[in-house]
Structure formats: structure tokens, C-alpha cells
Amino acid sequence: MSYFLCDEFQKMEPYIPGEQPKDQAYIKLNANESSLPPSPRVFDAVSQSRIRGMGHYADPHCKQLRKAIGDVYGVNADRVFVGNGADEVLGFCFMSFFSPRMKLCFPDITYDFYRTYAKTNRIDFEQIPLDADFHVNVEDYIATDRDIVLANPNNPTGLALSVSDIERVVAVRPKRLVIIDEAYIDYGNESCIPLTEKYANLIVVQTFSKSRNLAGARIGFAIASKEIIEDMNKIKFTFNPFNMSAFALAAGSAAVQDTTYLEKCVHSVLATRVRVQKALEKMNFFVAEPHANFLFVSHPYISGGELCKMLKERGILVRHYDEARIRDYVRMTIGTGEEMDKVLQQLHEILQEVKACES
């Protein structure tokens, strides 16, 4: 730590992303990225002529991308905010609407960025425990008067809430802000975007990093009331007016229009997910009901940490959280069919090894 770091940041705990080791070629299933390429339209959009124009700033209002997203979701562009990944969009939401000491809540087991951001910015946050099966208890969120951030489906559990349950939470207190992080919504779930027509206290955040195979391009967006989006843009213009690169704007506009390709990719991930889940259950794994592009699993004979380590030795990265309630689990992204065949083969061998040690 340098002499100069602000006092309030000295106890900061940064978000820890899934590791990206380069010592060998790994099957990378630890960050819920996609092994598939982006839409073919992205290859055309980020072309030579685009590179030639890089001497100029891109549109700070991001009009084209906001309109493209709005068209796909049936909302006006003035109700769409875009950012450098959903993380930045969430950052601008928090920055715009949560000042120090404001009261916020989210589950004890969820996307860790909410906690790290709240902590660094001295927001008074409460982590509401998921129930014993890792479900969000909706009644807790109806009862609280705190602002709310919920990932739906949740990460790392993969469990989801229904839109009608979320609507009950949003409707009960119109002066309380509810942010729904829909990073994994495209994997067969129903979005809360239509509710933003009706409720002025709801922000829905999504990303191009998962279902649109563009994690490296950093594109996320929020849909909410026109007034909320105006506020967020105001904050953006005080902080980083040119937050989106010309590459990201071009790639995003092209990708979002290709809904056929999105459906094709999602369909392939879901088919592989069904197959892998069945195979894992045959091997005696517990698999939490999946709603995203990953599985949250545990096995009676091997701890999450041990499993993560043994897979890494075999060239496969999965995510393990060294936290009390989920220490027995690992989170495994669904890769390509071929990648998952290798994973299943290695898991089979690991379990044989573990059994041999026991007997």
C-alpha cells in the first residue's frame, strides 16, 4: 500500500475474479464465460474501416447501441443505459443512488461485487441469508425497508425467482429501489424488463458477457425509467463520458440484433447442461436446480476445495468459494460438448481415486 491511498480505502477488499493462469492450456470453466465465438455479425462490424476511424472518440451518448438494445427489448432508447460491462453499469447504479450510510441489502451468498462495492463506499449493507436450500426467501425482501440488489438467476447457486415474486417485492414499497441483475436471464428464464414500464423503482441490468459470448468486449446495460437513466448518464458524464470504446459500441450493436444466433447458442448450452447434469447425478453429485450457463454441485465423498484442486491438476478450472455455507460446492461453467466430455471423464477418474483411498 502506498502512503497516498485514501484512508477510507485502506480496508478495501477488492472483488476476486476467477483465476486466468497461463502456465498451461486449461479448460476454463471458472468464470461463466463462453467458449463460443460471438455472432458472425460482430466480425463484420469490427472491421478495417472501423479501425481507420479510431482517431476519433466514439459517441459518448452511445445512441446507436442504446437504440439497438431498446429495439430488441421493446423500450425507447432513453430508457437504456450502456456501460463497460454489467459491473460498470452496477457501479453507476450504486454511485448514482446509494450514498454512504444508505441502507442496502442482498443475499449472503451472491455475486460478491455487491459486497465489495458497498464496503468500499461505506454503504450500510445487510446480507440476508438464503434458506437452507439456497433459495431466496421472497418474504424477507418484501419485509425489509432497505434498497435491494438481487441477481436473478443467482450466482453462484444458479437458482431463480419468478417474475411474479419479484413484482411483489418491487410493488410493496414504491420509494425503495430494487436492482435486478439478470446476467444469466437468457438461459431459459423470464426477464423483469416488462415490469420497468410499470414501476419507477426498478432497474434491470444485463450483460453481453455470458449469452452473447462477448466477455472480452465489456458491454452491459440497464433498463429502467427515463428519469433513472437520465440520472445515471449525468453521473457517467461527471466520471467517464467516453466509457464505451468504438469497438464495444460496434460489436454490441451488431450482436444484439442477431437474436437468431443468441437463441442458437443458448439452445446449445442448455442441451449440454441437461446432459452434464444427468451424468453428474449418475456419479452421485448433488446438482442445484440450474437456471444459467453453469452448475453448482457437491459430492458426498469429496470437499469442494479438494475437487477444485484435483480438477486443476488435470487441466480444468472450476470455481470454489472458501466460505462457510458453500465450502462443499464448486461452480462449473458449461463449456462446449467436447470440453464437458473431458470434464466428465476426469471426474470419473477422480472419484475412482477417492474411493480407492477410502477402502
Could you tell me the smallest distance in angstroms from the CB atom of residue 155 to ligand PLP?
4
Residue that has been written with the C-alpha cell 491438476 in this structure: 313
* Residues in 2-61 at the binding interface with ligand PLP, rule: CB under 6 A: 32
Cβ neighbours of residue 331 under 8 Å, at least 6 residues apart? 30, 32, 155, 156, 158, 294, 295, 296, 297, 318, 319, 320, 321
Member of 207, 253, 272, 333 binding ligand PLP (CB under 6 A): 207
Q: Which stretch in 70-78, 81-89, 223-231, 265-273 sits in contact with ligand PLP by CB under 6 A?
A: 81-89
Measured from the CB atom, is 144 or 152 closer to ligand PLP? 152
As a whole number of angstroms, the distance between CA 39 and CA 131 comes to 39
Measured from the CB atom, is 157 or 350 closer to ligand PLP? 157
Could you tell me the smallest distance in angstroms from the CB atom of residue 345 to ligand PLP?
27
Give the C-alpha distances (Å, rounded to integers) separating 183 from 10, 206, 277, 342. Answer: 30, 5, 21, 27
Measured from the CB atom, is 92 or 111 closer to ligand PLP? 111
Could you tell me the smallest distance in angstroms from the CB atom of residue 123 to ligand PLP?
17
As a whole number of angstroms, the distance between CA 321 and CA 308 comes to 10
Cβ neighbours of residue 23 under 8 Å, at least 6 residues apart? none
Q: Does 220 bind ligand PLP (CB under 6 A)?
A: yes
Could you tell me the smallest distance in angstroms from the CB atom of residue 293 to ligand PLP?
10
Cβ neighbours of residue 154 under 8 Å, at least 6 residues apart? 107, 109, 110, 111, 130, 134, 136, 160
329: β partners: 298
Member of 38, 70, 85, 290 binding ligand PLP (CB under 6 A): 85
Member of 29, 87, 106, 193 binding ligand PLP (CB under 6 A): 87
Could you tell me the smallest distance in angstroms from the CB atom of residue 133 to ligand PLP?
19
Give the C-alpha distances (Å, rounded to integers) separating 106 from 56, 95, 178, 179, 200. Answer: 41, 17, 10, 10, 20
Could you tell me the smallest distance in angstroms from the CB atom of residue 111 to ligand PLP?
4
Grid coordinates representing 5 are 491511498
Member of 45, 62, 86, 244 binding ligand PLP (CB under 6 A): 86
Alpha helical stretches, state H, 173-316: 226-239, 246-257, 259-282, 304-313
The site for ligand PLP, by CB under 6 A, has a size of 13
170: helix, strand or coil: helix
Q: Which stretch in 12-20, 85-93, 163-171, 343-351 sits in contact with ligand PLP by CB under 6 A?
A: 85-93
Q: Which stretch in 35-43, 63-71, 84-92, 137-145 sits in contact with ligand PLP by CB under 6 A?
A: 84-92
Q: Which stretch in 6-14, 41-49, 63-71, 207-215 sits in contact with ligand PLP by CB under 6 A?
A: 207-215
28: helix, strand or coil: strand
- Beta strand 178-181 with 147-151 is parallel
* Residues in 109-148 at the binding interface with ligand PLP, rule: CB under 6 A: 111
Measured from the CB atom, is 109 or 229 closer to ligand PLP? 109
Measured from the CB atom, is 38 or 85 closer to ligand PLP? 85
341: helix, strand or coil: helix
Binding mask 163-202 for ligand PLP (x = CB under 6 A): ------------------x-x-------------------
Rg of the chain on CA atoms, in Å: 21
In one letter, which amino acid is 326? I
Member of 75, 151, 223, 332 binding ligand PLP (CB under 6 A): 151
Nearest residue to ligand PLP, scored by beta-carbon proximity: 85
In one letter, which amino acid is 247? F
Angle ∠(181,186,187) on CA atoms, nearest 5: 110
Could you tell me the smallest distance in angstroms from the CB atom of residue 32 to ligand PLP?
6
**What does the binding site for ligand PLP look like in residue numbers (CB under 6 A)?**
32, 85-87, 111, 151, 155, 181, 183, 207, 209, 215, 220
